[in-house]
């Protein structure tokens, strides 16, 4: 017992984070396997684990109809897993420990620092408390707005439950819904569309950015608050991705998934899919009708994902911003990467390149093994559509998005296991996962003679 405790204490923050998510996944799977969690009283372990992983990793990919297959108890378990995964397991434990007056370990503090702060800060506890309060405030507001949307459609109790479930799912960027066609019945609803979109953006923009914007808004007169490069890059990149995604979807899909909709519904649906496709996984149009060009745009948006320190996955908006800035400065002949009158550090550049390459490699590898699986020749998906459909599912799992073109419901157990691993890596971060599985570390402080390679 002592050797195990000793190894646990020596565990790195990255390993601690991974173990926390895996523990929650397994615990959630066993709870969903209880007879009263499902309407039939029976569920396979792989389906329970897939659902629990999708909830904890706030993905939203499902192999079973959440609203029909799971009982109220099972749905509440899924909701709790979504909230736990969205806030972050260690964030919840830190708040709970402080509430109980317990001492928070150094390992916890380091993990929180790496997750929610781009630079070292003394007020990490204040940041975590603010995250908790902000989450409850936004989810509560979202639930109230959604209640007014559903109050005439359902009974008061059911409307409240539906509002709370979808508000939490949207803010945590999970994409779990209780309707068998997601939110396609509400394509033209202003209240639902704007509420869900706002929840997704607030949950995916990153808690450090929200904290900084709040600090800027409540600053005292005469006190100067600097806006970090982190916040500027997140806001600029997020705006460009939302605007360009909306425009492209609107232009590419009038005769496919947007066919038959009014101009207003076309605009609403395009905006909704542009925002949701980055990390949330809700949809107000039939994704099985997507053209290949529109599917490619959504795949790119899912691959980019949300922002650091948020509920979402993907390579993150800041990684895209750094890579674009690197290319831009190289084209101009600059030896350094300058943005917003600041020079980016070498660590940010190397991490961004590493994340991009590792992510591309992961998606390619998982897609390759999915296509190799024995039972992937299903009649439900034609050969011509198989590659784009499975690529869509893999990137959706990696970006913890949850959008699906239908392949998830027909994959075998091996395919489900591959997507489970992909969702986990996408949630904890590809670099974090790499640190955990890499046992040998390169010696630090040693530099060898430089030598150039021919590239390009």
pTM score = 0.87
Residue 400 lies in a domain: yes
Q: Output the CA angle 248-254-260, nearest 5 degrees.
A: 145
Tell me if 278 sits within 8 A of 314, measured CB to CB. Answer: yes
Residue 45 lies in a domain: no
**Interval 402-416 mean pLDDT:** 84
Q: What is the DSSP string of 288-331?
A: GG--HHHHHHHHHHHHH---TTSS--SS-HHHHHHHHHHHHHHH
Which of 212, 376, 442, 399 shows the shortest CA–CA distance to 311? 399
Residue 23 lies in a domain: no
Residue 184 lies in a domain: yes
**Interval 152-162 mean pLDDT:** 94
Q: What percent of the chain has pLDDT over 90?
A: 42
Strand partners, 338: 343
- Cβ neighbors of 93 (< 8 A, separation 6 or more) are 108
**Interval 352-363 mean pLDDT:** 92
Residue 315 lies in a domain: yes
Structural domain that includes position 268: 102-219+228-437
Which of 411, 431, 433 shows the shortest CA–CA distance to 50? 411
pLDDT band at 123 (very low <50, low <70, confident <90, very high): low
The confidence score (pLDDT) of residue 388 equals 86
The confidence score (pLDDT) of residue 389 equals 87
pLDDT band at 5 (very low <50, low <70, confident <90, very high): very low
From 1-15, 165-179, 262-276, the region with the lowest mean pLDDT: 1-15
Q: How far is CA 14 from CA 110, 111, 354, in A?
A: 10, 7, 17
Is the pLDDT reported for residue 273 higher than 90? Answer: yes
Q: Output the CA angle 290-292-298, nearest 5 degrees.
A: 70
The confidence score (pLDDT) of residue 163 equals 96
Tens of pLDDT, residues 212-254: 888 777 766 666 667 888 889 999 999 999 999 999 999 999 9
Q: What percent of the chain has pLDDT over 70?
A: 79
**C-beta neighbour count of 99 within 10 angstroms:** 8
Residue 386 corresponds to which tokens in the numbers above? 């198989």
Residue 3 corresponds to which tokens in the numbers above? 């050797």
Collapsing DSSP to helix, strand or coil, 374 comes out as: coil
**Interval 324-342 mean pLDDT:** 87
Residue 412 lies in a domain: yes
Residue 224 corresponds to which tokens in the numbers above? 């100067």
Residue 189 lies in a domain: yes
Is the pLDDT reported for residue 125 higher than 70? Answer: no
- pLDDT averaged over the chain? 82
From 87-101, 163-177, 185-199, 205-219, the region with the lowest mean pLDDT: 87-101
Instruction: Return the half-sphere exposure (C-beta side, CA atoms, 13 A cut-off) of residue 299.
Output: 19
Q: How many domains does the chain have?
A: 1
Is the pLDDT reported for residue 298 higher than 70? Answer: yes
State the alpha helices, DSSP H only, in 286-443: 292-304, 317-331, 346-372, 383-398, 413-428, 430-437
The confidence score (pLDDT) of residue 115 equals 54
Residue 395 corresponds to which tokens in the numbers above? 């990137």
Distance of CA 105 to the CA centre of its chain: 27
Find the distance separating the first CA and the last CA of the chain, reported in whole Å: 55
Residue 367 corresponds to which tokens in the numbers above? 């897609």
Residue 24 lies in a domain: no
The confidence score (pLDDT) of residue 171 equals 92
The confidence score (pLDDT) of residue 223 equals 64
Tell me if 282 sits within 8 A of 183, measured CB to CB. Answer: yes
The confidence score (pLDDT) of residue 108 equals 53
| Residue 35 DSSP class | G
Strand partners, 38: 70
Q: What is the DSSP string of 75-127?
A: HHHHHHHHHHHHH-HHHHHHHHHHHTTPPPPHHHHHHHHHHH-SS--TTHHHH
More confident residue, 441 or 62: 62
More confident residue, 180 or 437: 180
Whole-number CA gyration radius for the chain:
22
**Interval 31-56 mean pLDDT:** 93
Is the pLDDT reported for residue 440 higher than 50? Answer: no
The confidence score (pLDDT) of residue 120 equals 46
Tell me if 318 sits within 8 A of 234, measured CB to CB. Answer: yes
Collapsing DSSP to helix, strand or coil, 438 comes out as: coil
């Amino acid at each position: 017992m002592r050797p195990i405790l000793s190894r646990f204490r020596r565990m790195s923050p990255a390993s601690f984070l991974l173990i926390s998510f895996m523990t929650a996944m397994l615990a959630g799977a066993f709870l969903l396997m209880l007879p009263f969690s499902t309407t039939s009283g029976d569920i396979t372990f792989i389906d329970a684990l897939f659902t629990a992983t999708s909830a904890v990793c706030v993905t939203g990919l499902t192999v079973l109809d959440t609203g029909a297959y799971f009982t109220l108890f099972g749905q509440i378990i899924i909701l709790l897993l979504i909230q736990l995964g969205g806030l972050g397991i260690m964030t919840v434990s830190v708040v709970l420990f402080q509430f109980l007056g317990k001492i928070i370990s150094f390992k916890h503090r380091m993990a929180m620092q790496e997750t929610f702060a781009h630079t070292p800060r003394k007020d990490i506890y204040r940041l975590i408390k603010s995250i908790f309060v902000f989450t409850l405030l936004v989810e509560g507001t979202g639930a109230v707005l959604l209640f007014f949307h559903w109050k005439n459609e359902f009974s008061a109790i059911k409307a409240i439950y539906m509002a709370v479930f979808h508000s939490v799912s949207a803010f945590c960027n999970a994409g779990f819904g209780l309707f068998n066609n997601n939110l396609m019945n509400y394509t033209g609803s202003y209240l639902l569309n704007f509420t869900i979109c706002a929840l997704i953006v607030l949950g995916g923009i990153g808690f450090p950015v929200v904290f900084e914007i709040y600090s800027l808004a409540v600053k005292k007169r005469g006190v100067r608050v600097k806006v970090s490069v982190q916040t500027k890059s997140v806001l600029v990149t997020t705006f460009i991705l939302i605007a360009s995604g909306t425009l492209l979807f609107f232009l590419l899909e009038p005769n496919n998934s947007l066919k038959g909709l009014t101009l207003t519904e076309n605009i609403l649906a395009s905006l909704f899919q542009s925002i949701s496709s980055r990390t949330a996984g809700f949809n107000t149009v039939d994704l099985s009708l997507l053209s290949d060009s529109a599917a490619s745009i959504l795949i790119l948006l899912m691959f980019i994902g949300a922002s650091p320190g948020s509920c979402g996955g993907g390579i993150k908006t800041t990684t895209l911003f750094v890579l674009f800035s690197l290319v831009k400065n190289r084209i101009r002949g600059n030896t350094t990467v300058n943005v917003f009158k600041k020079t980016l550090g070498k660590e940010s550049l190397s991490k961004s390149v590493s994340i991009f390459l590792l992510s591309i490699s992961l998606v390619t590898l998982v897609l390759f093994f999915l296509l190799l699986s024995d039972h992937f020749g299903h009649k439900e998906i034609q050969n011509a559509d198989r590659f784009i459909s499975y690529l869509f599912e893999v990137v959706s799992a990696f970006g913890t998005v949850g959008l699906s073109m239908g392949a998830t419901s027909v994959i075998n157990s091996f395919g489900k296991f591959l997507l489970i691993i992909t969702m986990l890596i996408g949630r904890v971060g590809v670099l974090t996962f790499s640190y955990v599985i890499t046992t040998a570390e390169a010696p630090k402080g040693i530099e060898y003679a430089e030598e150039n390679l021919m590239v390009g």
